[in-house]
Chains A and B, each alone.
Chain A
Amino acid sequence: MSRARPTPELLASLRDGKGELHAAQRELPLREKVRQLLELQKIDYAIRSARGDALEPWQKPWEIEP
């Protein structure tokens, strides 16, 4: 039995949605982007630390306000 697949239209719509999300992200105020960067750093640091990556001492989330 073959697996049901999404239609090309659905896939296109999902891709468009992603494109819209990225476009909205690009237009955010700078301070919000810095806040997001600080969050990204925390996530990235947690993943890399858990994975046992060798990190330089300076490769850690910044302790600053956006």
Chain B
Amino acid sequence: MSFERALGALNELKRDEVVSEYAIAGALALLFWIEPVATYDLDVLVFLPEASGPIVSLAPIYRWAERHGYRTDKEHIIVESLPVQFVPAHSALADEAIETAAELSYGNTRTRVVRPEYLILLYLEGSAATLKRRERAAALRESGKIDDALLHALAQRFKIRL
């Protein structure tokens, strides 16, 4: 099993039209932009197909996992031994984070990763802004890899205090 195969599975999920788009978020996304931090799961923001209806259900993802022999553990699906949490886009910010995700390569596999400016805002969004999340947002801001003008414009538009 390899990290690359787990990333490939995300592409299969999209190819099989179980999700219409995805982007890696959370602590694993940090690895693509700054230094790795200890984490045990992979957060993936997803758009579910329109046909799913107004009520969001992860059932199609669980069915897909079962077909592929991936077991579930509470809210995680264990994909190639990685616990993955699929999070349907919960806000306009999350929508835009998925839509504008960077397409990056890991080995021979393409994957989509939330851009750092959006990651910061997702970390600081609403009641989700725990101390740990603020710390991660700060690490991104101090990395010198942030488009500061974009970050401030987004913060203003989404009404998030930096």
Contacts and interface: CB of A to CB of B under 8 A. Distances in A.
Q: How large is the interface on A (under 10, 10 to 19, 20 to 34, 35 or more residues)?
A: 20 to 34
Contacts, number: 67
Tier of interface size on chain B = 20 to 34
B2 to A, nearest CB: 4
B65 to A, nearest CB: 14
A1 B35 CA distance: 43
Contact of A43 (B2, B38, B78): B38
B73 A58 contact: yes
B31 interface: yes
Interface string A6-24: 0000000000000000110
Given A58-B73, A60-B40, A63-B1, A30 B32 contact: yes
A interface secondary structure, majority: helix
A64 B3 contact: yes
B2 A64 contact: yes
A30 B2 contact: no
A49 interface: no
B106 interface: yes
Interface in B97-117: 104, 106-107
